[in-house]
Structure 1
């Protein structure tokens, strides 16, 4: 990336106008959604838990058949 591209992106986010405020609002919403997904009971938390259980089950099955 070029320095100018980074400056332009930062300026867009830091813009005090309506567009900048909307971008910051959307960023806060997305951050909140991500945080909730990682909390106990959230979608990402559940998916990781299911993955761990599946790995444990596969490991147990492999030990039994070996």
Structure 2
């Protein structure tokens, strides 16, 4: 749970980093010849972690009126 504005900013940076990492991995796996289903299976755990960060960011924004 995000408790203050510093943690909020850190979470936003982590979220951006995770989204970029997922995109990079997807491109690499596609260039390696994996099917879309294989790429999805490989990146779903990262997407779950990213979704968790996104939910925390949204909850903080709602709580703080941002």
Larger radius of gyration: 1
TM-score (norm 2): 0.41
TM-score, scaled to structure 1: 0.41
Q: Which has the higher contact order (CA 8 A, sep 6+)?
A: 2
